Structure 1
Amino acid sequence: MDVINGTNVDGTLLQVWGCEIPAAVNQQFEYTAYGDNHLAWSTTGKCVDLPGGNMTNGTQIQVWDCNGAEDGNNQIWDTGYMYNATPTTSEPNQSGHNACGTTSSQTSTCQTLWMNDADDFCLWAPPKTGTIGDTERDEVAWCTKGGHGTRLIPDGTLTGVHFVRTPDYVQVTGVGDFTKINVAAGDGGGELDPHGADSYGNPIGGLVYGNTFSPNLQYHEWTNFISDGLFCMRACTGPNARENCQHVYDEMGCYWNMPANYDAGYYESCEGDNDLPMGVYGTSTWSQGVSPTPSAHPVASSSSCTSFASITSAPTAGAQGRLSSGARRSRHVPGKGFW
């Protein structure tokens, strides 16, 4: 990638050019840290910019002042991997692996997770018995369906599952006995996300994919809480992905971060509206630890639900049924731990 003639002017287009070694200044770019996520033209104050945010085929990219008039989502660039070309590991000091193949194993150390539907999703959980706080860097993927190269969630683990697709994210919530996937008995749980304090993620190198919005899409923003008896997982896309998948409210648990249906004894997949972004109340944003603590947002409406008799590692489509349009259960059952 090359800035045409090295011209340091807003609106200068980029091109491909033979790589110059050592790199000429017009070919020197660096990816900035999480929270900024810009592709910066080194030492110039310019960033790679998509004019007008235009996603039409053939739109040419340009350089523009970083955080300048053309900024917004026009300068946010996520890096990632094709689902079928994941590396062995994606971060330094990763305990597991991302190139997982398709063979399930209860000793798998796969750290690539999928979220597709109520009968095809995964959760992060310990590779061996431990608390989430002690094992958050090393969690592995446990899935309801084979074919992902992960561990399988044992039949009887999940006692309630509620999946919802909204315009901007997919979410699954529910209850169960997660000591069966190595969460220590009595553990109040914790939060997992792709960033962590060092931007390597919890677990380190954890990747998330799904087929809801497009085939084999990598989700760059996601958040997951799990304890010994309760879980919630959300994977976000679109321009508001960060707001919808906030990871700074790690002490607030599932009910506050992801108000939803957590009823035991029900297994369903629904369409729904977006929840209000966690922590945002009108024009104000609450910071964790500041008193008073605001209430959770109301549960967003959902409809067009498909019910399942149960969710097992080999679910059968014949067990499905339809709930009436507009049906929504939103009662919260008491969870364990601080949730």
Structure 2
Amino acid sequence: MAKLFTLLSILAAVIFIETAPTSGQITTAVESETNFCIFLPPQLGGGIAEHEDDAVVFCTTPLSSAPDAGLIPSGFIKTAHFATGAGYVQVTGTIDRSKYNLSSSDGGGQYDSVGAPPRATCANSNKFVELVEPDIELFCIRCCTDKKKCNTGESTEGCEHVIPGDYS
């Protein structure tokens, strides 16, 4: 009987967590090629994929739409290209991995509104997808009002496939 009570208590806790209000949301944003945010590991030198569950937001400038974000380290973003289309906004470009002490052998990973990190969202959007690829020094983020415009199912294909854009 004690085991059944313990199992029911655990199940109740899981259901509560899954249906709890969305407090603690982590918000990124894309406003322009000079005003945008990206997720990165919580500390310098962290692996991108290893920190999909606890990544934090960094912005190019303070943005009210991403109230708890830090600032992207100076020189980390080398180039940024803003684009918009029906149902999405995006920024694509290049990074200097050394400015966040990222490894040249880190193949990168994906952050998205599907749960990496948990409770992540993009301001004024229904869905988002972001990839950071330190080994080839690319990054990309797309925020979508049309969920079909954000491809979250092909992270291993990389930025240029998941978010077509200007990577010069």
Match of residue 118 from structure 2:
204
The alpha carbon displacement at 1:208 in A equals: 1.2
The alpha carbon displacement at 1:187 in A equals: 0.9
Give the distance between the partners of 1:178 and 1:139, measured in 2 at CA: 16
Match of residue 258 from structure 1:
163
Rg larger for: 1
CA contact (8 A) 2:133 2:158 kept: no
Give the distance between the partners of 1:123 and 1:178, measured in 2 at CA: 14
Give CA-to-partner distance per residue, 1:308-330, whole Å, 9 cap, x none.
xxxxxxxxxxxxxxxxxxxxxxx
Q: Does 1:146 align with 2:62?
A: yes
CA contact (8 A) 2:74 2:99 kept: no
Question: CA 1:130 to 1:189, structure 2 compared with 1: closer, same or farther past 3 Å?
Answer: same
Q: Does 1:223 align with 2:129?
A: yes
Structure 1 runs of 4+ with >3 Å offset: 181-185
The alpha carbon displacement at 1:155 in A equals: 1.8
Give the number of aligned pairs: 142
Give the distance between the partners of 1:191 and 1:204, measured in 2 at CA: 13
Gap regions ≥5 residues in structure 1: 1-80, 90-97, 99-110, 196-200, 210-216, 264-339
- TM-score after normalising by structure 2: 0.77
Give CA-to-partner distance per residue, 1:62-94, whole Å, 9 cap, x none.
xxxxxxxxxxxxxxxxxxx9xxxx72x2xxxxx
Gap regions ≥5 residues in structure 2: 1-20
Correspondence 1:53-132 to 2 at 5 A: 87=23, 89=24, 98=25, 111-128=26-43, 129-132=45-48
Correspondence 1:164-179 to 2 at 5 A: 164-179=83-98
- 1:160 equivalent among 71, 76, 79: 79
Amino acid at match of 1:123: I
Amino acid at match of 2:139: F
Give CA-to-partner distance per residue, 1:155-202, whole Å, 9 cap, x none.
21111110012121001000011343354342110112111xxxxx10
Bigger helix fraction: 2
Give the distance between the partners of 1:131 and 1:117, measured in 2 at CA: 27
Indicate the RMSD between aligned Cα atoms, in angstroms: 1.8
Give the distance between the partners of 1:184 and 1:206, measured in 2 at CA: 25
- Higher relative contact order structure (alpha carbons within 8 Å, sequence separation ≥ 6): 2
- Over the matched positions of the two proteins, sequence identity in percent amounts to 32
Q: Does 1:247 align with 2:155?
A: no
